[in-house]
């Protein structure tokens, strides 16, 4: 979430770190017993606190919502839906200037290496010479936007006059198997792909409709996966190995998607 006012009062929450903290895949027990209630409370109470602050200082408020609002019911999803409702209530009832972004899968440098997200998982596994773990048959699809595209979308949203919500994501689809193969091409063609049983709640398809963002914000993503992924790989390689680069991990590709 972020707020900024014409009076010079500004407050920004680190979106990258906040998103990483919210990841739940590596700790399923924590997800069931703790994460749901804690995440839901943070989304609701935290949003209320920030909206109250925005009202007091006359600031414009940005709610970074999620593509998960389109998914099945869970504490995290419901917390985000509630946060959107509260944001619109403050906009209509207290005339607080608000903007709402529904953010889809985003990747790039400085992601947490072991946060459990699929792109960071595949990149870290390939660099460490571990099998790339694909859950299910690998035919489920996702779309991936590079971080600079997301930042541009958020800036256009904050600087414009449209409240939203706006989907911010890259509509280009990849199956999980295709993503694993792109990571192979980028890092190590000999990397092994290992299939494991999928979870019951894994959506088969997640692709953003960005037509409103294109029309009203003049925004659409520019960085294809095959251009953005090597930048992320370079960052991960430095953080995993320091200045030492394993000799086998030398292959990159410049083919565009």
Spans of all domains in the chain = 1-103, 105-144+171-207+222-257
What pLDDT shows up at residue 224?
Answer: 97
CA dist 224 and 113 (Å) reads 21
Domain 105-144+171-207+222-257, CATH number (from 3.90.25.10, 2.40.30.10, 3.30.2130.10, 3.40.50.720): 3.90.25.10
Are 149 and 111 in contact by the 8 Å Cβ rule? The answer is no
Neighbouring residues of 202: CB distance < 8 A, sequence distance ≥ 6 = 135, 136, 140
What pLDDT shows up at residue 115?
Answer: 86
Global pTM value: 0.81
Looking at 76, 90, 107, 146, which residue is catalytic? 76
Mean pLDDT by 10 residues, the chain (257 residues): 52 44 39 51 92 96 93 83 96 97 97 93 98 95 96 97 97 97 97 90 84 98 98 97 57 37
Told to judge if 76 belongs to the known catalytic residues of this protein, a careful annotator would answer: yes
Q: What is the CATH number of domain 1-103?
A: 3.40.50.720
């Amino acid at each position: 979430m972020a707020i900024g006012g014409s009076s010079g009062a500004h407050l920004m929450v680190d979106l990258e770190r906040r998103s990483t903290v919210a990841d739940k895949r590596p700790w399923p027990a924590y997800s069931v017993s703790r994460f749901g209630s804690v995440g839901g409370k943070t989304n609701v109470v935290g949003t209320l606190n920030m909206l109250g602050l925005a009202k007091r200082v006359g600031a414009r408020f940005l709610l970074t919502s999620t593509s998960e609002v389109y998914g099945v019911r869970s504490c995290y999803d419901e917390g985000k839906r509630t946060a959107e409702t509260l944001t619109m209530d403050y906009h209509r009832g207290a005339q607080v200037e608000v903007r709402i972004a529904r953010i889809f899968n985003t990747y790039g440098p400085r992601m947490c290496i072991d946060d459990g997200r699929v792109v960071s998982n595949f990149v870290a596994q390939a660099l460490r010479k571990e099998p790339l773990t694909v859950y299910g048959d690998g035919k489920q699809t996702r779309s991936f936007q590079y971080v600079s595209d997301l930042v541009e979308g958020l800036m256009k949203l904050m600087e414009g006059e449209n409240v939203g919500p706006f989907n911010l994501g890259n509509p280009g689809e990849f199956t999980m198997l295709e993503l694993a193969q792109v990571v192979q091409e980028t890092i190590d063609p000999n990397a092994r792909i290992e299939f494991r049983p999928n979870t019951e709640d894994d959506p088969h398809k997640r692709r953003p409709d960005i037509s409103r963002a294109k029309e009203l914000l003049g925004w659409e993503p520019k960085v294809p996966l095959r251009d953005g992924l090597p930048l992320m790989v370079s960052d991960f390689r430095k953080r995993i190995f320091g200045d030492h680069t394993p000799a086998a991990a030398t292959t990159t590709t410049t083919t565009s998607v």
